Amino acid sequence: MAIISGKIALVTGAAAGIGRAAALKFAQEGAKVVLSDVNVDGGEETATMIRDNGGEAVFMKADVSVPEEVDALIAKAVDTYGRLDCACNNAGIEGRIAPIVEQPLDNYDRIMAVNARGTFLCMKAELTQMLKTGGGAIVNLASVAGLIGFPGLSPYVASKHAVNGMTKNAALEYGKQGIRVNSICPGGVDTRMLDSLAEQATGGAQSSAQMMDPLHPIGRIGTPEEIAELIVWLCSDRASFVTGTNIPIDGGFVAQ
């Protein structure tokens, strides 16, 4: 039985990786899905994949760091489907690996703009809409880097700690209005982002799996589909007593 049938779900960063997997899972579980990304070709491809499998989806290009584009995205969801029930704020970037002294300011600013400011702007618009219709569920994509430190990734670590903090605050502020807000903290996952980090860290000498598999007690990195399972469950009524959490989904990484 579909666990989220009839719901309207928004997924940012839906062109590939975790965002695409989440969008496909939402549709598989009965939701109508609104997708966004700055990558138009990838986003449209995700929407086509959903429709080809009998689901309903609409794509809109949006940069989550731009308030007007975020507001237009939420308006698109409401204009198309009448409301917004669930949101997965997944859009994010990794940036450059370097110790703090060598980090360019523009790298820090761009990472914080997309990952932290983008999550804030999306939640602000999503919450505004959900308050009008009496409730909803939001899942923010943080990272194990939002729970612990990673040398060389200070801007990314800062942005994901910010996501986890905002998640807790939003849950406290809007719980009594029927809105649940959680974040998830993936470990290594087989995505373009992890490939980029592996390329930077090893100069191409190791794949992301070769670099990261041994670091996870489970013995491997995760798949986007495994992450999508948790995202959609958290947006379903089966998670009705879960809010304000920063949940690791990391093959035991932060248990070490």
Residues involved in catalysis: 156
| Residue-level pLDDT at 1 | 67
Q: Find residue 86's DSSP bridge partners.
A: 9, 137
Residue with tokens 């698109």: 76
Residue with tokens 């804030």: 120
**Domains of the chain: residue spans and CATH:** 8-187+223-247 (3.40.50.720), 188-221 (no CATH)
What are 27-36's pLDDT values in tens digits?
999 999 999 9
Question: What is the Cα 57 distance to its own chain's centre?
Answer: 18
Query: What's the length of the chain?
Result: 256
Parallel/antiparallel/unpaired status of strands 57-61 and 179-186: unpaired
| Residue-level pLDDT at 2 | 79
d(CA 87, CA 157): 23
| Residue-level pLDDT at 198 | 85
Does the reported pTM lie above 0.95?
A: yes
Task: Write out the chain's pLDDT in tens, 256 residues.
Answer: 678 999 999 999 999 999 999 999 999 999 999 999 999 999 999 999 999 999 999 999 999 999 999 999 999 999 999 999 999 999 999 999 999 999 999 999 999 999 999 999 999 999 999 999 999 999 999 999 999 999 999 999 999 999 999 999 999 999 999 999 999 999 999 998 888 888 998 888 999 889 899 999 999 999 999 999 999 999 999 999 999 999 999 999 999 9
Question: What is the Cα 30 distance to its own chain's centre?
Answer: 20
